[in-house]
């Protein structure tokens, strides 16, 4: 993931530039490969780049031919080749970057440009001729984006990939809502993403098509292998990550076979640079081969306490698939020592998030040290297929579509958008969720929810399991062993080792007294921690960010998040 910092309509942008560069530097961990900035009129766009596609030519911010449009993007656009082919007006591309297509799309469609993008992205675009800045975030909210304002400069608008860039210059901040676009000309934020299943009043009734479910997930994973850098997969040994690893391994082996055929002169599909040590072949928008780097072996990664269930299951899956597996074990002390750093990078004090993300933070550091720039994960299917425990109690399909929640977030449709947590998995921000593409959501969210309900005959996520069950076809190569394909869901925090949660609770008891619980900080207002563990995390959060700043953990609420900086 890359990092963005931008400021529109600053009263003295040249004087502000050194500050802007310092603020952008705070998110260089997102993009260590290159730093760039462009000033135009009273607007500045800064970019910290992690190069995945167009490695040699894709430095940002990007500009059009006469440099009247400036663009900074965080993310990947999977259908960029298809867009290049289908533009109505010829456009001279300066780079091979997948993100550059946003410029001609804006030139042709204006504020409707994001509707044509298939990918995960946040972008800020400045139009010099109109003195206009627009910002948009992907439909599901996989990438992060914040927007801020300062009472000292009423006409100025700030944007950043992380909160830490904004809290020192803004006194009003919001998490930019997924599936929306903002326009400084009107000061309006509008929803551009309106899928067929968005209307909560309508219960989906599309008949179940297991083959379509399987093929749509395979397509989703293949798209995410659009990379020119080494990649891997996170593997917990659970259903979701194991399926993603299985599909990725099949694709890796297919790419290797195609590259060898090209090198031997027997290829039947187009390839590029077949004589290089690493083949450059892969999937493009029309399922044809195009440039993607593959490794001789797919790397898979797991983490846990010694003897953890996840590591044991992951090793079984890796052995079955033939991936090059890396097991990492951590100690309770390792996790406790990392908590403050985890909270700083997550920018949240949510208990569940911190519990699950701490082991992944440790693992991501190891992955990054190995030179792996991108890993695939299997997040999102529990929200889409009803994999959590509270779905068990649903008596009928209408109530199955509702989520019991103290925060009144009642719709499973909303849960599908709460996937910003995917980027909570470590400081390197190198995770690409494989199971939540727009196409996959369109297919699976329209399935009659009766098919998703948990019964005596069907365990959670039965649809997904059955879609990849090849037991009825003796000639088919199995995706996973049955013991993994039909393995009961386990909470990640438990899967890494049951002692982890107990240790967190015990340490919270040591750091937070009963008296502290009775006297929370006044600036917390009504957002008062209800457990000592939550209180402990909130105090660590306050060490990094203003204590009056509230962060919405799901990054979904379009309301303003305000800070009192008087």
User: What CATH number is given to the structural domain containing 129?
Assistant: 3.60.20.10
| Domain-located, residue 530 | no
- Residue 511 inside a domain? The answer is no
Chain position carrying tokens 């020192």 = 168
Confirm whether 289 is domain-assigned. Answer: yes
The residue annotated as part of the active site, out of 2, 7, 165, 553, is 2
Supply the pLDDT for residue 520. 94
Q: What's the confidence (pLDDT) of residue 141?
A: 82
Kindly state the tokens that stand for 93: 């591309």
499 contacts: CB under 8 Å, gap ≥ 6 = 305, 332
- 343 and 251 fall within a common domain: yes
Query: Nearest 10 degrees: CA dihedral of 538, 543, 547, 550?
Result: -60
Greatest mean pLDDT among 87-91, 269-273, 357-361, 489-493 lies in: 87-91
Eight-state DSSP code of residue 523: G
| CATH of residue 450 | 3.40.50.620
Q: Which band of pLDDT confidence, cut at 50, 70 and 90, is reported for residue 410?
A: very low
Nearest 5°: phi and psi at 43? -120, 140
To the query of whether residue 2 is one of the catalytic residues in this protein, the response is: yes
Do 168 and 82 lie in one domain? The reply is yes
In angstroms, what CA-CA distances link 190 with 9, 104, 176, 411, 558? 21, 21, 11, 21, 11
Mean pLDDT check: name the lowest of 195-204, 224-233, 490-499.
Answer: 490-499
Residue 165 pLDDT class (50, 70, 90 cuts): very high
pLDDT band for position 555 (cuts 50, 70, 90): very low
- Are residues 173 and 226 both part of a single domain? no
pLDDT above 60: residue 102:
yes
> Both 244 and 215 in a single domain?
yes
44-58, 192-206, 511-525, 551-565: which has the highest mean pLDDT?
511-525
Q: Bridge-partner residues for 191, per DSSP?
A: 180
447 and 483 co-located in one domain: yes
| Final residue belonging to a domain, choices 160, 191, 222 | 191
C-alpha distances (whole Å) from 378 to each of 22, 311, 448 are 35, 16, 23
pLDDT at 414 over 50: no
226 and 170 inside one domain: no
CB 153 within 8 A of CB 10: yes
**254-282 mean pLDDT:** 56
* 382-386: average pLDDT: 82
Of 191, 220, 254, the position where a domain reaches its end is 191
Identify whether 77 is part of a domain.
Answer: yes
pLDDT value, residue 287: 43
Q: Which of 435, 464, 495 is the last residue of a domain?
A: 495
Same domain (yes/no): 308, 444:
yes
The answer to whether residues 120 and 143 touch, using CB atoms and an 8 Å cutoff, is: yes
- Print the domain residue range for 182: 3-191
Render 253-285 in DSSP notation, one character per residue: HHHHHHHHHHHTT--SS--B-TTSSS-B--B-T
Q: How far is CA 338 from the centre of its chain?
A: 22
Q: Which two tokens stand for residue 445?
A: 């969210």
Q: What is the pLDDT of residue 563?
A: 42
The pLDDT value recorded for residue 375 is 84
Pair 341, 380 in one domain: yes
Same domain, 120 and 259: no
- What does the alpha-carbon distance between residue 440 and residue 457 come to, in Å, rounded to a whole number? 25
Question: Mean pLDDT for the chain?
Answer: 82
Three-state SS for 26? coil
Q: Most distant CA pair in the chain: distance in Å?
A: 76
| Whether residue 307 is found in the same domain as residue 441 | yes
Residue with the larger pLDDT of the pair 58 and 452:
452
Measured CA to CA, the distance from residue 171 to residue 556 in angstroms comes to: 20
Site of tokens 């309770």? 332
Q: Which residue has the tokens 């790397």?
A: 299
| pLDDT of 435 higher than 80 | no
421 shares a domain with 392: yes
User: Is it the case that residue 489 has pLDDT exceeding 90?
Assistant: no
Count CB neighbours of 276 within 10 A.
11
Which residue has better confidence, 121 or 198?
121
The pair phi, psi for residue 183, each rounded to 5°, is -130, 120
Report if residue 449 sits inside a domain.
yes
- In this structure, are 334 and 398 located in the same domain? yes
For residue range 103-114, list pLDDT tens digits in order: 999 999 999 999
**At a CB cut-off of 8 Å and minimum separation 6, what does 135 contact?**
6, 122, 123, 124, 125, 145, 147, 159, 176, 181, 182
- 392 secondary structure, DSSP code: G
319 in a domain, yes or no? yes
Number of domains in the chain: 2
**275 occurs within a structural domain:** yes
Does a structural domain hold residue 506? no
CA distances for 385 relative to 356, 443, 459, 549, 557, angstroms = 21, 12, 11, 34, 23
Q: Is the pLDDT of residue 305 over 60?
A: yes
- H or E element that contains 483: helix 482-485
Instruction: Pinpoint the alpha helices (H) of 307-435.
Output: 309-321, 332-346, 351-369, 381-385, 397-400, 412-415
Q: What is the pLDDT of residue 147?
A: 95
């Amino acid at each position: 993931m890359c990092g963005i910092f931008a400021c529109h309509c600053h009263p003295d942008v040249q004087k502000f530039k050194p500050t802007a560069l310092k603020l952008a530097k705070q998110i260089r961990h997102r993009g260590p490969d290159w730093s760039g900035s462009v000033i135009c009129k009273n607007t500045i766009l800064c970019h910290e780049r992690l190069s995945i596609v167009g490695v040699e030519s894709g430095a940002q911010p990007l500009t059009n031919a006469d440099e009247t449009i400036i663009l900074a993007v965080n993310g990947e656009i999977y259908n960029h080749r298809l867009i290049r082919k289908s533009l109505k007006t010829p456009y001279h591309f300066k780079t091979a970057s997948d993100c550059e297509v946003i410029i001609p799309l804006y030139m042709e469609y204006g504020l409707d440009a994001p509707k044509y993008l298939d990918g995960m992205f946040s972008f800020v675009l400045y139009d010099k001729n109109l003195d206009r800045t627009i910002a948009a975030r992907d439909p599901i909210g996989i990438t992060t984006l914040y927007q801020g304002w300062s009472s000292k400069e009423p006409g100025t608008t700030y944007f950043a990939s992380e909160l830490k860039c904004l809290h020192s210059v803004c006194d009003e901040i919001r998490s930019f809502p997924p599936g929306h676009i903002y326009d400084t000309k009107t000061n309006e934020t509008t929803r551009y993403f309106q899928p067929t299943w968005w209307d909560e009043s309508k219960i989906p009734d599309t008949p179940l098509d297991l083959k379509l479910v399987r093929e749509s997930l395979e397509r989703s994973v293949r798209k995410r292998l659009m990379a020119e850098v080494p990649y891997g997969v996170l593997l917990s040994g659970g259903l979701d990550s194991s399926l993603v690893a299985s599909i990725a391994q099949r694709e890796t082996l297919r790419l290797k076979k195609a590259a060898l055929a090209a090198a031997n002169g027997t290829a039947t599909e187009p390839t590029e640079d077949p004589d290089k040590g690493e083949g450059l072949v892969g999937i493009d928008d029309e399922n044809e081969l195009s440039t993607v780097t593959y490794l001789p072996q797919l790397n898979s990664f797991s983490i846990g306490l010694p003897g953890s269930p996840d590591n044991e299951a992951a090793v079984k899956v890796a052995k079955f698939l033939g991936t090059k597996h890396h097991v990492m074990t951590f100690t309770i002390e390792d996790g406790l020592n990392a908590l403050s750093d985890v909270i700083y990078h997550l920018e949240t004090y949510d208990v569940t998030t911190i519990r699950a993300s701490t082991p992944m933070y440790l693992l991501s550091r190891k992955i990054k040290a190995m030179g792996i720039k991108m890993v695939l994960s299997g997040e999102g299917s529990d929200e889409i297929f009803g994999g959590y425990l509270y779905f068990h109690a649903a008596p009928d399909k209408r109530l199955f579509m509702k989520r019991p929640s103290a925060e009144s977030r009642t719709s499973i449709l909303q849960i599908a958008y709460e996937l910003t947590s995917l980027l909570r998995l470590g400081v390197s921000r190198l995770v690409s969720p494989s199971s939540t593409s727009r196409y996959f959501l369109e297919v699976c969210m329209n399935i009659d929810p009766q098919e998703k309900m948990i019964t005596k005959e069907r365990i959670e996520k039965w649809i997904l399991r059955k879609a990849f069950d090849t037991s009825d076809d003796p000639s088919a190569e199995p995706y996973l062993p049955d013991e993994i394909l039909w393995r009961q869901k386990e909470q990640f925090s438990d899967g890494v080792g049951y002692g982890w949660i107990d240790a967190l609770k015990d340490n919270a008891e040591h750091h937070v007294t009963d008296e502290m619980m009775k006297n929370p900080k006044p600036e917390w207002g009504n957002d008062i921690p209800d457990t000592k563990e939550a209180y402990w995390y909130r105090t660590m959060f306050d060490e990094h960010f203003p204590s009056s700043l509230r962060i919405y953990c799901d990054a979904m609420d379009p309301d303003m998040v305000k800070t009192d900086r008087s």
